[in-house]
Amino acid sequence: MAEAKRILVTGASGFVGRHLCSVLRRRGDVVREALRAAPGNEPASPDRVVIGDLGPETDWSAAVQNVSAVVHLAARVHVMDDRAADPLEAFRRVNVRGTETLARAAARAGATRFVFVSSVKVNGEATSDRPYSESDTPAPVDAYGQSKWEAEQRLARVAAETGMPVTILRPPLVYGPEVKANFLQLLRAIDRGIPLPLASIHNRRSLIHVGNFVDAIHAALTHPAAANRTYLVSDGDDVSTPELVRRIAEALGRSPRLLPCPPALLRALGVLAGRSDQVARLTDSLELNIDRIRSELGWRPPFSMRDGLAETARWYRAQRL
């Protein structure tokens, strides 16, 4: 039986973090959670470390002590109404310099693997003639994507200088039980029978179920071939927006209410409403080629999209009761 590893997980209280910590513990690993603030009404634990705000001055010494690996999920994420005076600098402080500070602390502590959760936004926002691959020239569009790309470059430098292997994962939208934001809004709209003017969209989108993503993170942590490699990950089942609506409706036991509407009109309405980004996610294509992680790590998504949506629908129903 393999010896249990002590793994530091940042962003442990987040959507992906909670799932990851649960799976790692079931597999027999010891998980140390790095949290921004102490959780209320929970007993103190040696494997729960409060580190405060992420940045270049964060003290990671207690968090990285005796850990064999780090999964860095915590980040400053994209927000609709960013009030920072300089959004790019705010992203860089947390996602670039904060990440490098953690990586160097982990290397000094003797960690033998650092897994960084980046984003497909490093590649860009939309695909046209073919899916994104790891060999594409990065072309981030927004400050968040730019900061993730810069963090990847800093980590490559840390790996070269310290010898600590780094693995980078670039996921698309992650869904599953406890999902929030746009995906949860879509679940609610479909469940309530709200007509959606999406029937005329002919795109292709990659997504990843949280169970698949956690499994890919585990492969990145444990597979020798993952050292100093970058992988795009997804369910491997790309769908159009109307097909996604149909599949969610099936999982919820509802009838999809899809209405035809020219995508150009949807985009124009999005501009008028100040929601261009949200409309683009519904109308544009964003496909990921996951051949590299399949071939190099032998990784296969353990959950089909149908199973993932069914699990998500069960959670949604339960939390409404």
* Catalytic residue numbers, as ranges: 144
Where helices occur in 192-275 by DSSP H, the ranges are 210-222, 241-252, 263-272
Q: Residue 249: how many CA atoms within 13 Å on its side-chain side?
A: 18
* Cβ contact 24:9 at 8 Å: yes
How far apart CA 230 and CA 170 sit, in angstroms, is 8
Strands 30-35 and 6-10: parallel
* Cβ contact 263:280 at 8 Å: no
DSSP letter, residue 39: P
Residues 6 or more apart in contact with residue 249 via CB below 8 angstroms: 190, 255, 256
Tokens read off for 36: 């921004």
What type of residue sits at position 26? R
Which contacts of 32-39 are long-range, i.e. CB under 8 A and separated by 24 or more positions?
Answer: 32/6, 32/7, 32/8, 32/63, 32/67, 33/9, 34/8, 34/9, 34/10, 34/60, 34/63, 34/74, 36/74, 39/13
Find tokens 């569009």 and name the residue.
Answer: 141
Q: What is the DSSP string of 128-158?
A: SSS-B-TTSPP---SHHHHHHHHHHHHHHHH
Give the bridge partners for 35, in sequence order: 50
How far apart CA 270 and CA 174 sit, in angstroms, is 23
